[in-house]
Amino acid sequence: MTSAATFAAVFAALYAAHSFGDHWVQTHHQACAKGAPGQNGRIACVKHVATLTVTKAMFLAVMLHATGLTLEHAPHWWAFTLGLAVDAVSHYWADRRVTLARLADLIGKGDFYRMGLPRPGRGDAPHLGSGAYALDQSWHVTWLFVAALVIAS
């Protein structure tokens, strides 16, 4: 199989795993606490990223087994490990929330980041249509692309 096809298969598996792991595997506690300051927030975020990374590894293993695809251009274990580590670190960084919010402010996207978020005293409810969610997911998908390149190259 060509490198391009390998990349496409790896990216598809990572993308599916990300969507499943970020929404179905993540616990309610992790979702609510992972951005909190201090040790409790860091622990919740580490637990979320750990279960998400295991989910991605499982999806990749199932895809490789089901398709018979091999990663002949790179030693399997280190390419897998490095690709998943790059993804995990970038995911943790963004999910601590204040980091992504600061980046959004720095590049002039702060207003978009806060769009749809609750405002004190207004009774607003956050929803999946918020700017923060859109920037969060696009950040993660970008790093899935990088992880797929690392794994497939």
- Percentage of the residues of the chain whose pLDDT score is greater than 70: 88
Best CA proximity match to 57, nearest among 24, 104, 91, 21:
21
- Percentage of the residues of the chain whose pLDDT score is greater than 90: 58
In the structure encoding, which two tokens stand for residue 23, read together? 């929404």
Best CA proximity match to 56, nearest among 144, 120, 150, 153:
144
The answer to whether the beta carbons of residues 117 and 124 sit under 8 Å apart is: yes
Q: What mean pLDDT comes out for the span 30-58?
A: 95
Q: pTM for this one?
A: 0.83
pLDDT digits (tens, 9 = 90+) for 77-118: 788 889 999 999 999 999 998 999 999 999 999 998 888 776
The answer to whether the beta carbons of residues 27 and 50 sit under 8 Å apart is: no
How many residues appear in the chain? 153
pLDDT digits (tens, 9 = 90+) for 45-81: 999 999 999 999 999 999 988 988 877 654 577 888 8
What pLDDT was estimated at residue 114?
87
